[in-house]
Amino acid sequence: MNQLPRFVITRSAILGSIVRLEGSELHHLRDVRRLGPGSAVTLIDEANGLYTGRVERIDANYAEISLEPLASAHDAPSIILAAGLIKGPRMDLLVEKAVELGASELIPLLASRSVMHDIGAQRIERWRRLALTAAKQSLARRRMVLQPAMTIAQLVGAVPQDTLTLVCAMDGAPLGAIVREAKPSRIMLACGPEGGFDPSEMALLRNAGFRAVGLGANRLRSETAALAALSIVAGATYEIANIAPS
């Protein structure tokens, strides 16, 4: 089932047990994947509802798919990655791989040491397209939400309740052990830009309750650190979700 091609829908497009696929998703189904009536597919909506379906009809402007819901996508702790902005293709890579590693949200951080501080609408739209494509290709159980860019002060004021808040630091405790011990329902992971957070930003994060966590002895580039941290957290949360209580 997990190997079926995946397409993105909105709940408003569902009429009873039928959904209509239009626009770019229709093009992907009909012209790129070359699927036809009888083909089995999976679909994901804007609320991370998952469905299995079968193509019933393909018309010039839409495809009709019969569907039934699968299990909820909310079976593992959600992971919010707050990552310092970096330039060009390195940020594109971070967006794409964050989806593949299971981030539920990505918050671009406007840190004092960020090389880039001005994010245009075209760049944001590009990141959203990359995130959507990565979600479909990786069969991610969540569609990652790309949040507006924030300063550190804005970030600490936007932490949801019941969230384990962590910040990557060279002197931090082992990340995986912290997550496994806490068994949180939601995690916010803050990773700095090149050079890390400055002392005032780190003080602000620690005063807000962010725990310093480490990734080992080596100094990592910003996107490497963010993705390594996310990978460790994703592995720990998968373990938490899949180990039966004793």
pLDDT-based confidence at 17, cuts 50/70/90? Answer: confident
21-35, 44-58, 103-117, 155-169 — which is least confidently predicted? 44-58
Domains of the chain, by residue range, sit at 6-69, 78-242
Superfamily of domain 78-242: SPOUT methyltransferase, trefoil knot domain (3.40.1280.10)
List pLDDT tens digits, range 163-192: 999 999 988 899 999 999 998 989 999 999
Q: Identity (one letter) of the amino acid at 100?
A: E
**pTM summary value:** 0.73
Residues 42-63: what's their mean pLDDT?
Answer: 85
How many Cα atoms sit within 13 Å of 21 on the Cβ side?
29
Distance of CA 185 to the CA centre of its chain: 15
CA distances from 211 to 35, 187, 202, 223 (A): 49, 11, 10, 20
pLDDT at position 77 is 82
Rounded distance between C-alpha atoms, residue 23 and residue 78, angstroms: 30
| Of the candidates 98, 83, 179, the residue with the CA atom closest to the CA atom of residue 142 | 98
Residue with the larger pLDDT of the pair 159 and 69? 159
In the chain the first and final C-alpha atoms are separated, in Å, by 30
42-51, 66-75, 101-110 — which is least confidently predicted? 66-75
pLDDT-based confidence at 71, cuts 50/70/90? Answer: low
pLDDT at position 137 is 81
Rounded distance between C-alpha atoms, residue 240 and residue 245, angstroms: 9
CA angle 79, 105, 124 (to 5 degrees): 155
Q: Kindly give, in sequence order, each residue whose CB lies less than 8 Å from that of residue 191, ignoring residues fewer than 6 positions away.
A: 81, 82, 83, 84, 167, 168, 222, 225, 226, 229
Q: At residue 215, what are phi and psi to the nearest 5 degrees?
A: -120, 10
Q: Which tokens go with 89?
A: 């293709």
63-77, 195-209, 221-235 — which is least confidently predicted? 63-77
pLDDT at position 123 is 87
List pLDDT tens digits, range 82-117: 999 988 789 999 999 999 998 999 999 999 988 777
Which CATH number, 2.40.240.20, 3.30.1390.10, 3.90.1170.50, 1.20.910.10, labels domain 6-69? 2.40.240.20
Question: Could you give the 3-state DSSP secondary structure of residue 149?
Answer: coil
78-242 matches 6-69 in CATH topology: no
Residue with the larger pLDDT of the pair 223 and 73? 223
